Amino acid sequence: MDIYAFGPIAAILDGAYAFFVSISTLIEPVAGSSSAAFAVIVLTIIVRAFLVPVGVSQARAGAVRRRLAPQIAELRLQYRTNPELLQRKILGLYASENASPGAGCLPVLAQAPVLSVVYGLFILPSISGHPNMLLAESLLGVPLGSALAHVAVTGTLTWAMTWPFLVIVTGIAVAAHVSRKLLNAAPLTADTTQADDRSGQAGILRAVSFAPFITAVVAVFVPLAAAIYLLVTVLWTLCERLILQRVFPQ
């Protein structure tokens, strides 16, 4: 099923496309033939700024979990034979902090529709029945609709076509490496002191820390416009994480 063909989503996508075109037209006197590529950057920044409350919510929820972790560990030891009572005690503890164990999860789910619409702008050849002119634009002579993997398969790969992708993939990989170091340096937010649980959380943390590197791989297979979007998103996320770690210390 093509979600972008669904009426409401198609209408929103068409509106987003019109907004993108207006951004590109506005900056064209300054950016020239690369205005569409810079419009991708501007649009990505606008979207990420709109989603800042999501990051704040996640960081705040993480701070609460870290603060309550020792008390929850004690509750687990005290009520380890009574799971139902333990659950009520934990929920009561979170309630006393005006928080929820699931805080930070819903905002993440809420941003998915926004990001899917924006991402559609960078991959769909047509929007609401008309050609997606974004993909016909170029950056430094490389069409925004071209993908490195596709160009390589078709045998039309040249250095001029390759190096912009290499810069983007390298930028994503470097940002991913820094993000991974930050995640690995963060203390576990375990709700228990049991070794097995700590080990499990450490494994999850390691797995999550590799996720940004997947983005670098994805950038090879998606159109250049989407690759630019991924690079700006990864860099924004890294900067946001660095700032929020100061606001909500580990």
- DSSP per position, 16-31: HHHHHHHHHHHHHHHH
For residue 223, which of 170, 154, 149, 159 has the smallest C-alpha distance? 149
3 state DSSP class of 190: coil
Amino acid letter, 54? V
Residue listed under structure tokens 């940002």 = 175
Please give the residue range of the domain that contains residue 180: 3-247
Rounded to a whole number of angstroms, the CA Rg of the chain reads 22
The kind and range of the H/E element at 141 are: none
Amino acid letter, 38? F
How far is 123 from 84, CA to CA, in rounded Å? 48
What pTM does this model have?
Answer: 0.78
- Residuewise pLDDT in 10s, the chain (250 residues): 567 777 788 888 888 899 999 999 999 999 888 899 999 999 999 988 988 888 887 778 778 877 888 888 888 888 888 888 888 888 888 888 777 666 555 555 666 777 788 888 888 888 878 888 888 888 888 888 888 888 888 877 788 888 889 999 999 989 888 877 776 655 544 444 444 444 444 444 455 556 667 888 888 898 899 899 989 988 998 898 888 888 876 5
DSSP letter (8 states) at residue 139: E
Q: Quick: pLDDT tens for 9-57.
A: 888 888 889 999 999 999 999 988 889 999 999 999 998 898 888 888 7
Tally of domains in the chain: 1
DSSP letter (8 states) at residue 33: G
How far is 66 from 69, CA to CA, in rounded Å? 5
Two structure tokens written together for 141: 């002579």
